[in-house]
Chain A
Amino acid sequence: DTGVSQDPRHKITKRGQNVTFRCDPISEHNRLYWYRQTLGQGPEFLTYFQNEAQLEKSRLLSDRFSAERPKGSFSTLEIQRTEQGDSAMYLCASSSSGVGNTEAFFGQGTRLTVV
């Protein structure tokens, strides 16, 4: 397994456009997380899935954001009507839910620039 994979690595979009990012987790991991990181800050939690169920959403996740994990494998994060404030690094992570080890592993991130 090559680890958590995210696509695209970079995305530049015009304000008002919709964008979609993809995350492929480590295959044996049943948990998948999305985080957002802005310049000079640590990553902030957005949402997480256990298998295909979305179990928690942060208040940071406005109505313009939606995430899916339809078959419990890969996930997509869509941002509708992008705003300049959405410019950030979007990070995906995965982990198992096994007792005693929930170590999370992160992908390389998708850097979004809204112009």
Chain B
Amino acid sequence: GIQVEQSPPDLILQEGANSTLRCNFSDSVNNLQWFHQNPWGQLINLFYIPSGTKQNGRLSATTVATERYSLLYISSSQTTDSGVYFCAVEPTGANSKLTFGKGITLSVRP
């Protein structure tokens, strides 16, 4: 099946810093989503981005489908950005299920 690798596995930032989270995948995809998992375990949708670039406030994401990677940018980080960020993909021709990476744990220090 498709492989999804996220890097770096852990990231520590000072409040106000910028960061880039990466997701590599091993096959073509119909769907790519970025999620933030809050401390209570809920997955919060950040972006649905199978290709192209999107922005939402301090967050933006870019997926280059032909090169099989996606990037999530966080600017002017805040302590509330802390948590685990997951990339999940739905392979082309598959049956809509998502395959998740192992996640990136972000800690933003005040």
Q: Could you tell me which A residues sit within 8 Å of B by CB distance?
A: 31, 33, 35, 37, 40-45, 48, 55-56, 89, 91, 93, 95, 97, 101-109, 111
Contacts and interface: CB of A to CB of B under 8 A. Distances in A.
A42 B103 contact: yes
Contact of A102 (B35, B90, B100): B90
B45 A105 contact: yes
A86 B34 CA distance: 27
A111 B31 CA distance: 27
Given A48-B97, A102-B96, A103-B31, A42 B41 contact: no
B42 A102 contact: no
Contact of A56 (B30, B88, B97): B97
B100 A42 contact: yes
Contacts of A93: 98
Contacts of A91: 41, 43
21 contacts: A33-B97, A37-B41, A41-B102, A41-B103, A42-B4, A42-B88, A42-B102, A43-B43, A44-B100, A56-B97, A95-B96, A97-B96, A101-B48, A102-B31, A103-B33, A103-B45, A104-B31, A104-B33, A104-B98, A107-B42, A111-B41
